[in-house]
Structure 1
Amino acid sequence: MSLEDQVKGKTDKVAGKAKEVAGNVTGDKQTEAEGKAQGLAGKAKGLFGDAKEKASEVAGNVADKATDVVDDVKEKFDK
């Protein structure tokens, strides 16, 4: 689900930022790098969720238009 991906993305972004700051404060470059990577992964998950949501909207719109066209064609043949 797109909402689930968006929530997981935000969670990873926040956790990654916390890890990055912790690594920066302690001077642990490994932890800092892992935090940055987790934050970027979270951003990607969020964007993926956004894309899935938009694709779902577009698919729904296309389906609605196709139904309208089919109904129009049926109506013309019924006359």
Structure 2
Amino acid sequence: MASAAPFIDKEGTAMATTGKKMQSKAQEAAGKAKESAGKAMEKDDLRVKGAVEEREARVKQGAQRTKEAAAGKLKPKSGS
């Protein structure tokens, strides 16, 4: 079976960033859920794991925004 070609945008680059963004958003949400569950059940280990997972996702999102800004794909925020 032949492998599927990646989706290509107008500039001819693979559109992997959308998938990465979705993964990091999902990781952030999972981290928040774990942290909340840890608080509710008074389990510090679960709360800490969730907090770490959430922060890791935020770092990944920041790195992705930096990459996009460096590549000129981001528009500056208005009102800055």
TM-score under structure 2 length normalisation: 0.64
Unaligned runs of 5+ in 2: 1-15, 74-80
Q: Which of the residues 25, 31, 38 maps onto 2:40?
A: 25
- Write out aligned runs for 1:1-79 (5 A): 1-57=16-72
Does the Cα contact within 8 Å between 1:9 and 1:44 map onto a contact in 2?
Answer: no
- % identity of equivalent residues: 24
Does the Cα contact within 8 Å between 1:9 and 1:45 map onto a contact in 2?
Answer: yes
Runs of 4+ deviating beyond 4 Å: none
Considering fraction of residues, name the structure with more helix: 1
The structure with the larger Rg is 1
RMSD: 1.5
| Residues in 1 aligned to 2:39 and 2:66: alpha-carbon distance in whole angstroms | 33
Does the Cα contact within 8 Å between 1:20 and 1:35 map onto a contact in 2?
Answer: yes
TM-score under structure 1 length normalisation: 0.65
